[in-house]
Amino acid sequence: MSTQRYSVTPHPIETLLTWVKSGEIAIPEIQRPFVWEATKVRNLLDSLYQGFPVGYLIAWRNPSVRLKDGTTSSGKRILIDGQQRVTALMAALLGQEVLTKDYETVRIRIAFNPVEETFEVSNPAIQKDAAWIPDLAEVFAPNASLFELTDAYAERNPQADRRRVSRVLEKVRKIINNHVGIIELAEDLDIETVTEIFIRVNSAGAALSQADFAMSKIAANDTYDGTLLRKAIDYFCHLAVAPEFFSRIEKGDKAFAASEFFDKMKWLKGVNDDLYDPSYTDMLRVAFTSEFRRGKLQDLVALLSGRNFETKQYEAVVAEESFARLKAGILNFINETHFDRLMMILRSAGFLTSAMIRSQNAVNFAYILYLRGREEKMPAAELEQLVRRWYVMSVLRGRYAGNPESTFDYDIRQIDARGLVTYANAVIDAEMSESFWTALLPQELETSSAASPMFLVFQAAQVKLGDRGFLSRDITVRDLLLNRRDVHHVFPRNYLKGLGLSRGQYNQIANFVLAQTEINIAIGDKSPTTYFADLVRQCSGGDKRYGGIVEMDALRDNLRMNCLPEEMLDEGGLDYDDFLERRRLLMAQKIRAYFEGLSSEE
């Protein structure tokens, strides 16, 4: 017979709000952006007024930890589901300000019409309309008098039934007496079980990641400056996207502005680079894996709670050490030199824009490798070369596409056991085998997804090798990727549609080249037989129709750069299927030459 691992207790909303204000229940998300639309806040209040259920809240108590003197300290309850609802209530009923997703501090004002008994998001028109109480927080103010509220409303609305208005306002004020069920989970539950409970209880079935748990643990800790660490993670992620937010932190959060974290991230205020905009999950993965030599964030949650993996006990000294190590990892992550060097490595491999970065976890582990190499004092050139090759290998092989945590954990443990350089080179050699280049890669290029990692690496290869755009005399692929460019169909889309081919057939990436817009427009829907014949005439003194190439050698050179079979210049050219097969092989050869070139760089 199984033991129940939770308790369910109904509590009045008033009690819940009191607990939150006193810190008995920690709401980690209170420091993070409030993502609800104001209309959802209105709907929540209306549901409470109608007596409808508003769902359970889920709290998970931090494990009790053993202190140095032998006593135990009971942990706080962390609200892991219901944060937005409780924040909405505190904003609407208590008048507290919230941070929006744009990191602006605002008041959410919900208006109430006592005659119609309706709630609405307050706006200028409502604020001028005497029929509305424009801000419900006035009704719930500690010194608010029901008698005075009724009098004031009746004075503005002489036609209203005073006694009815009084009863309605009393009913509104009683919504804080409504009970909400709190599911309190046992402190010794593991993360997987808590996640399963969350998904089963939460009607939306939303995912709750282990990074969310870790951030909750960090924010709920007062002893080791958890709130400050949590803000450092949030603020860095926001500054990476919106550098102009810097002045708002400086003026609006004096305590954080005085911290070492703020000083270390000042460099972001003048940076408008979106190549790698990390989320808090990315930061935690990199900081934790590089510093703790582990890859599973559930271990971070346990360590921040004070779990000693050897004794299976929870100890304050473990929590203290874990917070210190995580702080060191975060400071390493936000270090300007480290971050800039990673961006330089990615760009030096040909990955110029954020559109070419489709695997954040591949970037994350590249950063982990870089930080590990720095720690081991590897020569800069050797480290950069290793990180470049590992990153491209992991993108081509989808190394972190399936179960990134397990792969992170495996890779970092193997690096510890076998050494960074030895292990990394062994994996690269095994993954990039002869059979990969000659058989698997051409097969992987048989796809219609323009976001395919293979096509992105092909573009990076063209950048790295200095290739020019399709039929461009001077404009390079680098220029095209950084500026306006078209993905052109060598066999035009409408031409193939006219032959009855489907979207998946005519959008094969082996049919794609990067071209200047004007060249793309000039070719239009012409058949390859037609416009390649025009190109031959163009290079023999004929009209200049497509780009500026007027010599056959230059044209053949351009086709080679873009991995296009020269047989396209022959009378009759190639049929579409033969063309695709030939081009996939040529693209695979170019990617191979590019990758092998990465290992010979100085």
Say what the pLDDT of residue 31 is.
44
Q: Which residue has the higher pLDDT, 371 or 56?
A: 371
Query: What pLDDT sits at residue 534?
Result: 92
Residue 407's contacts (CB-CB under 8 Å, 6 or more residues apart) are 295, 399, 400
Specify the DSSP element, H or E, that contains 208: none
Q: What is the per-residue pLDDT for 200?
A: 64
Say if residue 32's pLDDT is above 70: no
Mean pLDDT calculated for residue range 423-430? 96
Give the Cα separation of 382 and 385 in Å (integer).
Answer: 5
Report the candidate in 151, 51, 141, 55 with the shortest Cα–Cα distance to residue 94.
141
Contact 295, 406 (CB under 8 A): yes
pLDDT of 419 over the 90 cut: yes
Helix (H, G, I), strand (E, B) or coil at 513: strand
Q: Confirm if 584 and 445 have CB atoms less than 8 A apart.
A: yes
- Structure confidence at residue 187 (pLDDT): 75
Tens digits of residue pLDDT in 94-132: 888 887 766 667 889 999 999 999 999 999 999 999 999
Q: Which residues contact 178 (CB under 8 A, 6 or more apart)?
A: 12, 13, 48, 51
Average the pLDDT over 192-196 and give the result.
Answer: 66
Q: In b/e form, how buried is each residue of 305-322, taking b as 16+ CB within 10 angstroms?
A: bbbbeeeeebbbebbeeb
Mean pLDDT of 522-537: 92
What is the arithmetic mean of pLDDT over 543-565? 93
Beta strands in 203-336 (DSSP E): none
pLDDT for 263 beyond 60: yes
* Residue bearing tokens 């990673």: 342
pLDDT of residue 66: 53
- Can you give the C-alpha Rg of the chain in angstroms? 31
Q: What is the mean pLDDT of the chain?
A: 88
Other Cβ atoms closer than 10 A to 354? 12
3-state secondary structure 360-406: HHHHHHHHHHHHHHHHCCCCHHHHHHHHHHHHHHHHHCCCCCCCHHH
pLDDT of res. 69? 52
Q: Can you tell me the distance from the alpha carbon of 566 to that of 367, in angstroms, rounded to the nearest whole number?
A: 41
Higher pLDDT, 252 or 278: 278
How many angstroms separate the CA atoms of 174 and 106, rounded? 26
Residue scoring higher pLDDT (502 or 197)? 502
Sign, Cα dihedral of 427, 431, 432, 434: positive
Greater confidence, 504 or 60?
Answer: 504
- Give me the pLDDT at residue 477, please: 94
Q: Is 107 helix (H, G, I), strand (E, B) or coil?
A: coil
Contacts of 82 (CB under 8 A, 6+ apart): 55, 56, 57, 58, 180
**For residue 67, is pLDDT > 60?**
no
Q: Cα separation of 564 and 571, whole Å? A: 15
State mean pLDDT over 397-421: 93
pLDDT at position 241 is 86
End-to-end CA distance of the chain: 66
| C-alpha angle 530-562-464 in degrees, rounded to nearest 5 | 160
| Per-residue confidence (pLDDT) for residue 118, from 0 to 100 | 94
Residue 424 φ/ψ, nearest 5 degrees? -60, -45
Q: Is the pLDDT of residue 68 over 60?
A: no
What φ, ψ does residue 11 adopt, rounded to 5°? -135, 145
Per-residue DSSP letters for 529-598? HHHHHHHHHHTTT----SSS--SHHHHHHHHHHTT--GGGGSTT---HHHHHHHHHHHHHHHHHHHHHHH
Strands 512-515 and 486-489 come out as antiparallel
**Average pLDDT in the 480-487 region?**
83
Contact of 216 with 204, CB cutoff 8 Å: no
Whether the per-residue pLDDT at 166 is higher than 70: the answer is yes
Positive/negative CA dihedral, 500, 504, 505, 510: positive
The edge-to-edge listing of strands for the beta sheet with 25-26 is 6-12, 179-185, 57-61, 77-81, 25-26
Q: Is the pLDDT of residue 370 over 90?
A: yes
**Long-range CB contacts for residues 262-268, cutoff 8 Å, separation at least 24:** 262/232, 262/235, 264/331, 264/334, 264/335, 264/336, 265/232, 265/235, 265/236, 265/239, 265/334, 267/336, 268/236, 268/239, 268/240, 268/243
Cα dihedral 12, 15, 17, 22 in deg (nearest 10): -160
The stretch 325-341 carries a mean pLDDT of 96
**CA 307, CA 313: separation in Å to the nearest integer?**
6
Q: If you average pLDDT over residues 236-250, what whole number do you get?
A: 88
Least confident of 213-222, 401-410, 538-547: 213-222
Return d(Cα 17, Cα 393) in angstroms, integer: 52
Q: Which comes out higher in pLDDT, residue 500 or 61?
A: 500
**Cα 329 from Cα 233, distance rounded (Å):** 11
